[in-house]
Amino acid sequence: MSKRILITEPIIPSVIEKLKEHFNVDVGKRGAYNTEEALIAAIPDYDAILPMLSNPITEEVIKAGDKLQIVANHAVGYNNIDVEAAHRHKVQVANTPGVLTDSCAEFTLALMLAVGRRLCQAQEYLLAGKFDGWEPLGFLGTELQGSTLGIIGMGRIGQAVAERANALGMDIIYHNRSQLSSDIESQLDADYCSDLKTLIPQADVVSLHCPLTEETRHLVDADMLDLMKDHAILINTSRGPVVDEEALAQALHDGTIGGAGIDVFEEEPKVHPKLKNAPNCLLTPHIASASHKTREDIGMLAAQAIIKILQGNPASEIPNL
């Protein structure tokens, strides 16, 4: 009997078609598998699952998957999956590194430019009929050229952001668990700061590109925000809980920082109410990887991992966590 795959919600159709060439595929309704209970009820029927970040793949879910061989996340991040439990139960876990680097880096730059030049506030003003002609003091913002970008987390995406920021004439400093090789540092023209407390006060833009771990939870808290320059911008396209949202909202309302571009939230899909009306705060619904190309690439990489594992190939052939 053909193996069965659960894709927990609709994804790019060509990916679904690819999996259908090999297996019986069910596609859930959007949001139907956002709870542990729904996943536990469904999982015994499936040999593989292709979940979204919003699906909690807990130990209970994995244990209920009697036939489950692989969880292939539709994302590079995998904080929705209990990876250790999967290992204990001999279930493979795959993610999608590499394919979303460019789209996330581009989006990060888009947020920096938009917040730096106050694009959303300017559009709101114009649409409200307040534009009364060119104004010498209207909507003064921060130019990226010549300003200092502090990157926290210098993996693939952090490095891709650095490349693009170089092209805009920014000076780059970074903090990472380990220092990059001197070759990569000189290619990126980036200087290492071993301590966040020395990086943050120097930066005009702070951009987060680290994974969510116990060490990075609330890495940017009230104390770190206090260290930011009063015109500096915070950009978060990594994971919501890396920032203490309450503290960020307070800093924006108090004007102790200049603005924020936030694509990820502490308790998605909830958004802290004080962020929604904070000045110069651009909020987007976790879309840094949302280009047609990248979403197809993400889906195909996850699909290929499922095909390989269910056809008996070794885990070393897939992006394997």
Q: Which residues bind ligand DGY (CB under 6 A)?
A: 75-77, 100, 289
Q: Is 195 left (phi over 0), alpha (psi -120 to 50) or beta?
A: beta
| Nearest residue (CB) to ligand DGY, 99 versus 228 | 99
Q: Name the E strands within the chain.
A: 4-7, 24-27, 48-50, 70-72, 92-94, 148-152, 171-175, 190-192, 205-208, 233-236, 259-262, 281-283
The verdict on whether 268 is a catalytic residue reads: yes
CB of 208 to ligand DGY, least distance (A): 12
- From the list 153, 207, 202, 203, the residue with the least C-alpha distance to 180 is 153
Choose the catalytic residue: 106, 185, 268, 296.
Answer: 268
Strand, helix or coil for residue 20: helix
d(CA 305, CA 120): 40
| Nearest residue (CB) to ligand DGY, 71 versus 193 | 71
CB of 73 to ligand DGY, least distance (A): 8
DSSP state of 200: G
CB of 226 to ligand DGY, least distance (A): 28
CB of 286 to ligand DGY, least distance (A): 6
CB of 289 to ligand DGY, least distance (A): 3
CB of 155 to ligand DGY, least distance (A): 12
Choose the catalytic residue: 74, 209, 272, 286.
Answer: 286
d(CA 318, CA 301): 9
Choose the catalytic residue: 239, 245, 266, 295.
Answer: 239
d(CA 290, CA 137): 35
| Nearest residue (CB) to ligand DGY, 19 versus 298 | 298
Helix axes 101-116, 156-167, angle to 10 degrees: 50
Helix axes 13-20, 292-310, angle to 10 degrees: 20
Backbone φ, ψ for residue 217 (5° rounding):
-60, 125
| Nearest residue (CB) to ligand DGY, 76 versus 306 | 76
The verdict on whether 117 is a catalytic residue reads: no
CB of 99 to ligand DGY, least distance (A): 9
For residue 118, count other CB atoms closer than 10 A to its CB: 21
| Nearest residue (CB) to ligand DGY, 8 versus 289 | 289
For residue 265, count other CB atoms closer than 10 A to its CB: 20
| Nearest residue (CB) to ligand DGY, 74 versus 272 | 74
Amino acid type, 119: L
- From the list 123, 140, 119, 142, the residue with the least C-alpha distance to 131 is 123
The verdict on whether 286 is a catalytic residue reads: yes
Q: How far is CA 256 from the centre of its chain?
A: 25
| Nearest residue (CB) to ligand DGY, 18 versus 74 | 74
Instruction: Give the residue numbers marked as catalytic.
Output: 239, 268, 286
